Structure 1
Amino acid sequence: MDVEQLCRDYGAGEVVIARDLSEIDQQKIDTRFDAAIVDLMLGGASTRDFALQLRQSGVPFVFASGYSDADEIQASFPGVRLVTKPYSGDDLVEAVAAACGRRSAA
């Protein structure tokens, strides 16, 4: 599944794909992102600190990952949805819409 195309199909103007956290200017998180889909591991590194920055900046986000310990994620990030791989596009869109306080158009 092409997450970038999925986001565009549902109206995203700009989609930023990062294969490594160093590709993201973390100083401008709150002005750069309206929402985020975060894999728990990116380029072999944990994204938990990045997710904490998103939460502190008020940017809605979901985790989309093959990581299977949902209880651990809920304990660290209460209220943040974990969409586990393999996931459907509808599942991902619904999770992002809910994180943004909207209902999905799906």
Structure 2
Amino acid sequence: MVPQRVIIVEDEYLVALDVEAVLQSMGVETIVIATTLAQARQAVEQAGADCALLDVSLSDGKSYDFARELRAAGIPFGFVSGYGDTTGFPDDLTHAPLLGKPFGENEIIDFVSGLLDTADDTVKE
């Protein structure tokens, strides 16, 4: 399954553009790049999302609370971060999917597909 609307929450614009290019090659129709948490929240409020890719550290704070908001809304998300693992994450987010930077095109495709598969499994339960 290919998501139709993905939000990339990343304050390093070149990284976001790389991810956007891969998502476009997958056939994602709408990709929103949010460089701040405020922009990310606005994007979700306006049109929702099939999934979101979150950098942990942004210019306006950590994305943990936003991740919790996505979880509460039933929107699959994963962290795309330079952190090697989730050891320093809050306890309730240590099991969140994590794609470490740097990454390749196939890794992003597999990561996004995994987010959607997990969401499908949750819906089926």
- Category of TM-score, reference length = shorter chain: 0.7 to 0.9
Match of 1:48 among 51, 59, 64: 64
- Counterpart code for 2:98: L
Gaps of 5+ in 2: 1-14, 119-125
Match of 2:55 in 1: 39
| TM-score normalised over the length of structure 2 | 0.70
Match of 1:81 among 93, 97, 104: 97
Is 1:94 the equivalent of 2:110?
yes
What is the CA distance between 1:27 and its match in structure 2?
A: 6.5
Match of 2:39 among 2, 6, 23: 23
Match of 1:6 in 2: 22
Q: Spell out, residue by residue over 1:16-57, the C-alpha distance to the aligned partner (whole angstroms, 9 max, x if none).
A: 10111121317627x521111110012251000100011111
- Counterpart code for 2:45: K
- Aligned residues of 2:86 and 2:94 also touching (Cα < 8 A): no
Could you list the runs of 4 or more consecutive aligned residues of structure 1 that deviate by over 6 angstroms after TM superposition? none
| TM-score normalised over the length of structure 1 | 0.81
- Aligned residues of 1:80 and 1:99 also touching (Cα < 8 A): no
Gaps of 5+ in 1: none
- Aligned residues of 1:40 and 1:46 also touching (Cα < 8 A): yes
- Aligned residues of 1:70 and 1:82 also touching (Cα < 8 A): yes
Secondary structure of the structure 2 residue equivalent to 1:83: strand
- Counterpart code for 2:68: L
Match of 2:121 in 1: none
What is the CA distance between 1:69 and its match in structure 2?
A: 3.8
Secondary structure of the structure 1 residue equivalent to 2:45: helix
**Greater strand share, structure number:** 2
Aligned residue-pair number:
101
